[in-house]
Amino acid sequence: MPRYKLTLEYDGAPFVGWQRQTNGLSVQEVIETALNALCGERVAIRGAGRTDTGVHAMGQVAHADLGKDWRSDVLRDGLNAHMRPHPVAILAAERVSEDFDARVSAVRRHYLYRIINRRAPLTVGRGHAWLVKRKLDAGAMQAAARHLVGRHDFSTFRGSECQADSPVRTLERLDVMRTGEEIQISVSARSFLHTQVRAIAGSLEHVGSGKWSAADLRAALDARDRRRCGMVAPPEGLYLMSVDYEPHAPPAPR
């Protein structure tokens, strides 16, 4: 049974998240429904990351096992046609080997958190960034962010519903950059705890506004206590940008 890697983007605003749930429409359900309609069979997909309600993706990855061989462009275009008018798009479909797993095979995930720092309300950016009206010092946020890079116990920034076996994670990158009114927080790691990126973004906002110092952020990390987290930033500013994999051999000819 051929396996396909699907790279996709979506606007998370109308969905209850990536994973199928009983309380509303998920991104997974939209894609599986389209696969079932296109292929004439019930198909389950597995994603690289379970984004929460309202979280967006520019480079989510999933895999699916299909009952026949498909040309990559035909599969991509057919799925996109069946997913209309939902704001989900397959960017690429690729035949991969049977040992490829969108979640387990991932070696790095990249997230972006967007803050619009201005007094005026959002218009075109509404639902796609966090509006913070008080002035933020991006330089102070960047300096404080260095305390979180590396391998740490991130219990302070771990959601109460997190099911991970360990709170220890290694942040390979955490950068804060301002361009005009927008502050972007870019973070990369092999894996993340539930709400970890949003909790880090919210705590960095405290630093940027002057409520916390860099030492306060470090103390919160060292406390290993989620009650010491500054706040959890809203989901609409978070984007799963891309997922990295080791180079893999093409599937054997059938």
Would you please indicate which residues are annotated as catalytic (active-site) residues?
A: 52
Looking at the DSSP assignment, which residues form a beta bridge with residue 60? 8
- Cα–Cα distance, 83 to 89 (Å, whole number): 8
Q: Helices (DSSP H) in the chain: which residue ranges?
A: 27-39, 72-83, 138-145, 196-209, 214-223
- Cα–Cα distance, 55 to 241 (Å, whole number): 11
Query: Is the Cβ–Cβ distance between 52 and 8 less than 8 Å?
Result: no
Whether a cis peptide bond, with omega within 30° of 0, leads into 85 is yes
Sign of CA dihedral 89, 95, 100, 105: negative
Q: Render 145-185 in DSSP notation, one character per residue.
A: HGGGSEEEE-GGG--TT---S-SEEEEEEEEEEEETTEEEE
- Cα–Cα distance, 21 to 150 (Å, whole number): 34
Q: Determine phi and psi for 8, rounding to 5 degrees.
A: -145, 165
- Cα–Cα distance, 11 to 20 (Å, whole number): 16
